Structure 1
């Protein structure tokens, strides 16, 4: 029955094939990718076929781990050494099977004729080179252009992708930019050589809702100007519906269904497609119990950074106020949302509250005790009680350690668990609670998809049984159906353990489903705050109104 469904809903050739003129710029047939793992072989992609025509956008959607990114990497020729592509597979670019090309010819295509925006910008950008030098390199590798001319082109690209103060950003390193700003740098590099095909793997994952619309509109305008073809890999179905022409749906490495966008959304045929389209964050948080005390409070917190301007011989240092004298109060059992555009100071403020960044001035109290003056050693006993889930799970998980070692490390450092057997049981329980199997302890982070790595990061945090967790974009890398599972998980953990969350996000749909109160930030300042329903349904400032409109209706 399953085979019959697959054949009827996902044939090798598109449903609109007869009405198309010309040949596809990419015609992929029978893509099969397998990975060698410790206990055998994992078939990540099974007999996938798709076609892409010039000037159009196709979307590949599906849950985390469905094989979307592996399919894209097969097109780019960026699979790991463990991967094996079936001899019967073919990927024709402009009529030529690029799987038969020698590596030197594939390298000429990458970043030039076929370009890709990766899901995790921090792991894709080189941390020891400035942003400007990396963009210049991407330009000069494929174009005969002087350095000065390439630098001018790099500045133009940063202006295109709406990065504030682009001249200063060219001289900065990736760690000095916010997650959304790093993603925009990746987009600029991908568009540097006006490619024929742009593969966008979750291109707006780290971007706030207003910039998301700007970036997608930018890609669409360049697409029309250059007749560029786009493969959009995403879990945001609102984006898929508005920006794609044709949709492919994947599950467990197989193609479930594909169709013209309007037809697929109007009449989904496969059961998985129907479930995927029906998935979105739902529900509301439980009301707070009476008499909840305050677990975290801050007053007058100010954080500043010195940015370098000018030339090497005549540097000009200017102070950037990232957090401007902010106050905050978080009660036990409460979830407080912190929203705002990329670079508004959300993450800086959150990490300052955990004493991961030092404040220039201000007071911070945890469980009624001042912590703003504590040294690193004095903070250590509190670390197990306050945890953090970072925005980019790949850069926060040690690539040289197994999943078991990564989660167990926190238990060892904080002297939790009398024996190794007890610690391993805690690790397994945390993984299962986060929606992951308990038998993955010997595997490494790179063997998992972005969404799976995010769940592993959540498991690492809850393994220590903290009282307070800072969640920095914890659902940004997750597809819609898994987002709903994570929201339910966070609610369950909060009810069972009395957890308090500071939830940093640009996804207002998730904020509405999870948070009791919300704080809206802009340029390091609080512009509005209050109960979630009041702020999202009746915004008092034009800035909040713009955020709400962009979140619920990408245009």
Structure 2
């Protein structure tokens, strides 16, 4: 007898109700996952992947509407069942791990309480005998962390807790919806090693939703590719890598970043010009105030760094290595505990002390540009404010705003001035963030993870734009990232940070081709599927 699929989707169609009717988001999608199978659902943002995930567990909210098809989980018809039966399926038969683990956890409840709440759903069964401590041990977290609140855990630890909750009742199907997008490659690798080991031990099926093809190449058995709401290809990983059949699949593969040591980053010799940025013995600690009972946390420890005019320097490291703290000190968003910073020969002015029209040698480009733009105001409003606040003041503001939009490739400008942030794609919003930073004519752009939340095809466009702005305007760039692939693509020089300190630095190609420090080698080794075969020999640990 043929084994029943863990998940069977047939001819599923989903839309979103609008003023003009229902706008299709998913059309005629069919997908089956066998018990114990690991299937990837790939595609760019907006293709309908997460809509399918929400539909599977009937979590889709208005204005979302399922307009046709069937969904069966271990034989149970999800769409025709009443709410009580669907609620009984969740956690016990199928569970989901969402992208943002912090919002998946209750911020005012301890981790142990939240794990126990899930276990309480299995009262009277064998599963109910499990303890929260056992669940944490299952995902390699010290049970001593049971009394911690979510904000007291790292991003990787929080995601492990959510995975433990998803597996607490031994479901047959686990849906992973972009679970590691915001995590560095080492933590991502550790989490998926854990998931694969647990899958082999417990036998559950996995649907991994992602736009990260290299990750799927490493972990999945099969891949389904979505475009414009439809599945355009469904194949084993081996067949897909060897012979992708759909043109869009080939576009995705070609857009996938690889650690091939080529890109706009140049091998230019060190500049003898006066540096745009110079730090000396920079240090930042937290929790060292006299009234604080916590032990001091050293975020940045004795960092000395130089960035030359028109140079792109990548600061690479895992989450918590001090990269973003360094960038925030450089731009004056936070004050250093000790050490010196010179921007264009002068100390940076703290944000709290800046006056309108004051020179701003360094400007920040944020990771979440949507969060840094006021959703109530138009793009034109944001850029006009930035221009008026710049040293050049209010001279011909309208023309300057148009020029900024044109410089970042948003043309014609009139198409964007009256739109609000939610009306733009992720890549368009990041271009607005770059335009806003350029309004002050800075000597240095500090780009903090500017592409980590974008699809792979859009990432290269934004990185190429940053490189072009450097070439055309002479602006230097401090590129903060946990992604060694993008660092190798764009940077002239790479600086590797670990536990607040610089452990390695040098020309980008040299650091990636011949890493000297153990931590750098770990970063490169953790890149999922990203090392081109021609470069494999060059990336062996240095002797």
RMSD: 3.9
SS at match of 2:71: strand
Q: Is 2:203 the partner of 1:227?
A: yes
SS at match of 2:197: helix
C-alpha displacement of 1:376: 0.9
Distance (Å, rounded) in 1 between the aligned partners of 2:314 and 2:335: 22
Distance (Å, rounded) in 1 between the aligned partners of 2:529 and 2:385: 43
Aligned counterpart, 2:535: none
Q: Is the 8 A contact 1:136 1:150 kept in 2?
A: no
Normalising by structure 1, we get a TM-score of 0.81
C-alpha displacement of 1:50: 0.9
Alignment of 1:59-78 (within 5 A): 59-78=40-59
Moved more, 219-228 or 415-424: 415-424
Change in Cα spacing, 1:410 to 1:375, as seen in structure 2 (3 Å) is: closer
Distance (Å, rounded) in 1 between the aligned partners of 2:481 and 2:134: 29
C-alpha displacement of 1:377: 2.4
Alignment of 1:17-416 (within 5 A): 21-37=2-18, 42-86=23-67, 88-125=68-105, 128-129=107-108, 132=111, 135-136=114-115, 139=118, 142-144=121-123, 153=132, 157=135, 161=139, 167=144, 171-174=148-151, 179-180=155-156, 182-281=158-257, 282-286=262-266, 292-306=273-287, 317-371=294-348, 374=350, 376-378=352-354, 385-393=361-369, 395-398=371-374, 410-411=386-387
Q: Is 2:470 the partner of 1:494?
A: yes
Q: Is the 8 A contact 1:467 1:499 kept in 2?
A: yes
Change in Cα spacing, 1:39 to 1:334, as seen in structure 2 (3 Å) is: farther
Change in Cα spacing, 1:499 to 1:89, as seen in structure 2 (3 Å) is: farther
Distance (Å, rounded) in 1 between the aligned partners of 2:430 and 2:116: 31
Q: Is 2:487 the partner of 1:521?
A: no
C-alpha displacement of 1:188: 4.3
Change in Cα spacing, 1:34 to 1:499, as seen in structure 2 (3 Å) is: farther
C-alpha displacement of 1:483: 2.0
Distance (Å, rounded) in 2 between the aligned partners of 1:157 and 1:322: 31
Q: Is the 8 A contact 2:264 2:467 kept in 1?
A: no
Distance (Å, rounded) in 1 between the aligned partners of 2:413 and 2:76: 41
Distance (Å, rounded) in 2 between the aligned partners of 1:251 and 1:32: 14
Distance (Å, rounded) in 1 between the aligned partners of 2:428 and 2:277: 30
Distance (Å, rounded) in 2 between the aligned partners of 1:133 and 1:405: 46
Change in Cα spacing, 1:269 to 1:375, as seen in structure 2 (3 Å) is: closer
Change in Cα spacing, 1:378 to 1:451, as seen in structure 2 (3 Å) is: closer
SS at match of 2:334: coil
Aligned counterpart, 2:540: none
Q: Is the 8 A contact 1:322 1:524 kept in 2?
A: yes
Aligned counterpart, 1:15: none
Change in Cα spacing, 1:108 to 1:450, as seen in structure 2 (3 Å) is: farther
Alignment of 1:534-545 (within 5 A): 534-545=510-521
Change in Cα spacing, 1:34 to 1:526, as seen in structure 2 (3 Å) is: same
Change in Cα spacing, 1:544 to 1:458, as seen in structure 2 (3 Å) is: same
Distance (Å, rounded) in 1 between the aligned partners of 2:440 and 2:303: 29
C-alpha displacement of 1:444: 5.4
Aligned counterpart, 2:524: 548
Moved more, 266-275 or 453-462: 453-462
Change in Cα spacing, 1:515 to 1:420, as seen in structure 2 (3 Å) is: closer
Distance (Å, rounded) in 2 between the aligned partners of 1:169 and 1:392: 30
Moved more, 219-228 or 42-51: 42-51
SS at match of 1:92: strand
Alignment of 1:459-474 (within 5 A): 460-462=436-438, 466-474=442-450
Aligned counterpart, 1:6: none
The unaligned stretches of length 5 or more in structure 2 are 532-543
Q: Is the 8 A contact 2:25 2:229 kept in 1?
A: yes
Distance (Å, rounded) in 2 between the aligned partners of 1:413 and 1:179: 36
Q: Is the 8 A contact 1:122 1:392 kept in 2?
A: no
C-alpha displacement of 1:47: 1.8
SS at match of 2:295: strand
Q: Is the 8 A contact 1:390 1:396 kept in 2?
A: yes
Change in Cα spacing, 1:82 to 1:190, as seen in structure 2 (3 Å) is: same
C-alpha displacement of 1:249: 0.8
Change in Cα spacing, 1:327 to 1:465, as seen in structure 2 (3 Å) is: same
Distance (Å, rounded) in 2 between the aligned partners of 1:48 and 1:263: 21
Distance (Å, rounded) in 2 between the aligned partners of 1:226 and 1:49: 26
C-alpha displacement of 1:515: 0.7
